Amino acid sequence: MGKIKTIEYFRVLPRWLFVKITDEHGNYGWGEATLEGHSQAVEGCLDAMVQRFVGYEADNIELLWQTAHRHSFYRGGPVLMSALAGIDIALWDLLSRRLKLPLHVLLGGAVRHKIKVYSWIGGDRPRDVEAAAKERHAQGFRAVKMNATEDVDWLDSPSALDTSVERCRVVKALGMDVGLDFHGRLHKPMAKQLAKALEPHKPLFIEEPLLSEHYEGIKQLSGFTTIPIALGERLYSRWDVKRFLHDTSIDVLQPDISHCGGISEIRRIASMAEAYDVALAPHCPLGPIALAACMQVAMCTPNFTIQEMGLTIHYNTEAGAYDINNYIKDKRVWDVREGYVEGLSGVGLGIEVDEEEVRSVAKEANAWAPKGFVGPDGSIREW
């Protein structure tokens, strides 16, 4: 046992927010509180948590989690839950490092020895997907994800969807599985058409076919298509998730470990999903700490199915040289072979953070700004 001595956070390129917690005996752990495009808001929340939780017993992870959530009165939402996630992940890392065990051992032990993964192709305005898919295949991936469309109007010409279907066909022809991320960009009139058009090509899943707030539309769409429906990155707690499970409107749940309160909450969400025969495929186009935390959860979660990896995702390459191989000392942990990454076997999260690089980059890293689309008439479109 040891009391929390310091809680530090580091804004780093390309768009990530890392958290380090150290106890009074010098034990430490790393977490990730990334909320893309809203770093300053999460940093403000972390400032308040630093004042509140320095001096708490570092091992009492659940007590701290419940205090942060329930004594906040205004609870949940992306900012609070992302800040809490960073602290929660760091505390689990600290505890398992202190005990010299891989984190998944503390969560019940391994149910698998390797983890199925996919990566991104195509960018915000998807293009050149054939060459990109071939490159991913050469890297060891057997599944990829891409944005289904560019920006689309509320009711657009049906021809706006033709290239989406063609891109799916091209990637499938290479022998790879492909998930299509609608990204909440489409409204119901277009989402219905695209789901129907994609069905003969058998995508792995369609993600956020509508924004999560349109739960009744997602329920309707789920009865309209045989393609598995996935969502969850914009659901921040088990309370956000429960309606979709009760409605039986989704097949794959994609909570983001850095958005939904960390390891403690994603484990509860996974157990809820298992009871409804829903698979877990955590959202993670983020940094290496969040990815390592997801991998630890995957190792011990029966209904886990596949893990997103942000390796050279367009958000990273646009920022220059920073990717998931940065900020860690052993980059081999992310080696992909025949669609799988070997389970992380090191203590804690299973990675060693390069603190010198983190502190150096954090000195000058600017916050990443949210993106957006504007239609030809000047109206705001979903991104």
pLDDT 10s digits, 33-72:
999 999 999 999 999 999 999 999 999 999 999 999 999 9
From its phi and psi, is residue 46 left (phi > 0), alpha (psi between -120 and 50) or beta? alpha
Segment 121-131 mean pLDDT = 87
Cβ-in-10-Å burial (0-12, 13-18, 19+) of 71 comes to: exposed
**207, containing H or E segment:** strand 205-207
**At residue 103, what is the residue type?**
L
DSSP conformational letter for 175: T
pLDDT tens, position by position, 72-106: 999 999 999 999 999 999 999 999 999 999 999 99
Q: Give pLDDT, residue 261.
A: 98
The SS3 assignment for 113 reads coil
- What's the average model confidence in pLDDT over 6-11? 98
List 104, 183, 187, 201, catalytic entry: 183
Residue 69 near residue 268, CB atoms below 8 Å:
no
Catalytic-labelled residue, pool 187, 201, 259, 283: 283
Q: Is 283 a catalytic residue?
A: yes
pTM: 0.97
Of 55, 48, 41, 43, which Cα lies nearest the Cα of 18? 43
Verify whether residue 183 is a known catalytic residue.
Answer: yes
Which pLDDT band, with edges at 50, 70 and 90, does 121 fall under?
A: very high
Judge whether residue 123 has pLDDT over 90.
Answer: no
CB 232 within 8 A of CB 273: no
Helices (H), the chain: 39-53, 61-70, 78-98, 103-106, 129-139, 162-173, 188-198, 215-222, 238-246, 263-275, 288-299, 314-318, 355-362
151: which residues sit within 8 A by CB, 6+ positions away? 185, 373, 375, 381, 382, 383
Contact between residue 253 and residue 233 where contact means Cβ atoms under 8 Å apart: no
> What per-residue confidence (pLDDT) applies to 232?
98
Degrees, nearest 5: CA angle 59-261-320:
110
pLDDT at residue 290, rounded to an integer: 98
pLDDT score of 378: 95
pLDDT exceeds cutoff 90 at 224: yes
What pLDDT is recorded for position 213?
Answer: 96
Query: Per-residue pLDDT tens for 337-347?
Result: 999 999 999 99
Whether residue 321 has pLDDT greater than 90: no
